[in-house]
Structure 1
Amino acid sequence: MKFVFDLDGTICFKGVPVSENLLQCFEDIEEHGHEIIFASARPIRDMLPVLHERFYNHTLIGGNGSLISKNGKVIFSNSFTDEQVKNILSIIKKQQATYLIDGIWDYSYTGPAGHPILKNLDVKKLAKSVSINNLRPIVKILILTMNNYDEFLSELKLLDVVIHQHSNEHTIDISPQNIDKANALKTLGITDYVAFGNDSNDISMFKNSIYSVMIGDHKELSYYANEQINMDEDCEKNIIEKLKEIAQKRFEKPAIQKN
């Protein structure tokens, strides 16, 4: 069985790397013939700092599905068209928005100097910060601040792009059309998998999984989750126990209707 894990808010928190207890559990599971895959909103560049080096050659899905890395190399990327970039930048200018915009490796950042996202941005100094005019292709756009959130969102919804709202942080994630974690897994030929996640960008993955476990509480995601693990002091221990339990199961079809 293939197990697909989101990172932030699921198995790592506030930029702290995935714990050794979890990593050892993943290795134990793989010794019994299973496969561990990581799928994150982070680009590949920013997934590496929260994973130990011995997992760098695993399948990594970054940018909400716009990037795929295997054996330490990016093997797939999907980017915005020039017209989409032009339209989004027009809205950004109109709304005086700030952003983190990712290329395959490099990035462009205009957000506040003290924004929390900087703690997780290119921690290993693997990329370059460049002007948006010099960043192509563009695979993911994160809007950090804007004059009017609702107006920005309304204009954005007129474009042919994928939008994820992070209401707690009041940010907006934008990806090219048809880009999500589930489609990235399909690109890899993976259709049967167990998913662990915590946020709206995990919905597509949950809907297409044969079993899914939600970490914490998210109203929209909960509709597609088979199980929930509370976000408390026992969360990590419960994830490990649940992973070991599911690894012993045999799945023939999803336990709940997810469409």
Structure 2
Amino acid sequence: MTKPYVLFDIDGTICFDGKMIDPRLENAIEGLSELFEIVFATARHPFDMLDLFKLFDVYKLNIIGCNGAIYYKGGNVKRVFHFAPSVGAEIYRRVAGYGGTTVGLGENSLFFERSEAYLVAQQEWKFSHRYSVSFTIEEGRLCKIMTKGQDITNLINADCMLPDVCTIYTHRDGSIDLVKKGTNKLTPIHHSLGNSMIYAAFGNDENDRAMLLNASRRIVVGDGIQGIPNAEIVASGEEVVPNLLKKIRSLIE
């Protein structure tokens, strides 16, 4: 019998500095694994998350990355929900044309049109060493296009093409993710992980809405997402980790 899922968003939910997960939280989550299938779901590429984990065996992790566009397990990318190559290249060029720092992410590569763009993006986001880097956009199977820049949100939202072919996610740090239309953090669950019940989901932002609404228990950290029925709110602040520990442990009590 397949175990029910417990889904954890990472940044802003169980990781608060972008660099590490509190060992108390990681230990408590690991303690759920006998009863539940643990899945980590993030806006970032799985390659950029692996160094956050200190207690988990990274070769056994389930990670949904790029807001649902990549499913990673057992040390490998198992499935990618990507743009058609010509569409991905066109989106990249339109977005880059608005003047922000822009990168295309593929299964295991970063894509740019110019080498200097890579240097700027690496300084902005500090990508993992695990990627290969390409400067030929047309060869890429892009699963996410990421950009950041002054006033770029308004420019992208006003673009008549992008909403028809992309799901657009805006983050609190000003960065914007564009993925294939209809892709969200539940996409790999439906296509690759089977249809077991989602017992609980932990999230903090708008890109967590789909997984929260499909969970029996909905634990929301902070006030970054509204309108989740029957949400169990964990206030952000000094007590966020102790209060999260209580919620995690309550899943097996």
TM-score range (shorter-chain normalised) is 0.7 to 0.9
Aligned positions of 1:162-201 closer than 5 A: 162-166=167-171, 168-187=172-191, 188-193=193-198, 194-201=200-207
Separation of aligned partners in 1, 2:77 and 2:152: 36
Separation of aligned partners in 2, 1:12 and 1:135: 34
Match of 1:203 among 201, 206, 209: 209
TM-score (norm 1): 0.84
Relative to structure 1, the CA distance from residue 202 to residue 244 in structure 2 (aligned partners, 3 Å threshold; closer, same or farther) is: same
Separation of aligned partners in 1, 2:42 and 2:230: 18
Query: Do the aligned residues in 2 keep the contact of 1:12 with 1:19 (CA within 8 Å)?
Result: yes
**How many Å apart are 1:157 and its aligned residue?**
4.0
Q: Counterpart in 2 of 1:130?
A: 134
CA displacement 1:206-240 (0-9 Å, x = unmatched): 121122111111144x4346111011111111111
Q: Counterpart in 2 of 1:153?
A: 157
Aligned positions of 1:19-58 closer than 5 A: 19-31=22-34, 33-52=35-54, 54-56=56-58, 57-58=60-61
Separation of aligned partners in 1, 2:186 and 2:12: 19
Relative to structure 1, the CA distance from residue 191 to residue 30 in structure 2 (aligned partners, 3 Å threshold; closer, same or farther) is: closer
Separation of aligned partners in 2, 1:106 and 1:114: 14
Separation of aligned partners in 1, 2:229 and 2:187: 17
Query: Do the aligned residues in 2 keep the contact of 1:10 with 1:198 (CA within 8 Å)?
Result: yes
Query: Do the aligned residues in 1 keep the contact of 2:204 with 2:224 (CA within 8 Å)?
Result: yes
Separation of aligned partners in 1, 2:162 and 2:229: 24
**How many Å apart are 1:24 and its aligned residue?**
1.4
**How many Å apart are 1:30 and its aligned residue?**
2.0
Q: Counterpart in 1 of 2:68?
A: 65
Say if 2:235 is the partner of 1:230.
Answer: yes
CA displacement 1:49-89 (0-9 Å, x = unmatched): 11226331121111111111122221111111123224313
Aligned positions of 1:107-122 closer than 5 A: 107-108=110-111, 110=117, 113=120, 117-119=124-126, 121-122=127-128
Separation of aligned partners in 2, 1:105 and 1:30: 28
Give the alignment's Cα RMSD to 1 decimal. 2.4
Separation of aligned partners in 1, 2:81 and 2:120: 29
**How many Å apart are 1:3 and its aligned residue?**
1.0
Q: Which amino acid aligns with 1:52?
A: K
Separation of aligned partners in 2, 1:67 and 1:233: 33
Aligned residues: 242
**Segment drifting more, 91-100 vs 60-69:** 91-100
Q: Counterpart in 2 of 1:213?
A: 219
Separation of aligned partners in 2, 1:225 and 1:55: 33
Relative to structure 1, the CA distance from residue 148 to residue 226 in structure 2 (aligned partners, 3 Å threshold; closer, same or farther) is: closer
Say if 2:143 is the partner of 1:139.
Answer: yes
**How many Å apart are 1:93 and its aligned residue?**
4.5
Aligned partner of residue 183 in structure 2, secondary structure: coil
TM-score (norm 2): 0.85
Relative to structure 1, the CA distance from residue 114 to residue 107 in structure 2 (aligned partners, 3 Å threshold; closer, same or farther) is: closer
**Segment drifting more, 183-192 vs 205-214:** 183-192
Aligned partner of residue 54 in structure 1, secondary structure: coil
CA displacement 1:174-217 (0-9 Å, x = unmatched): 00122111122112114421100111110111121122111111
**How many Å apart are 1:29 and its aligned residue?**
1.9
Q: Taking every aligned residue pair, what percent have the same amino acid on both sides?
A: 24
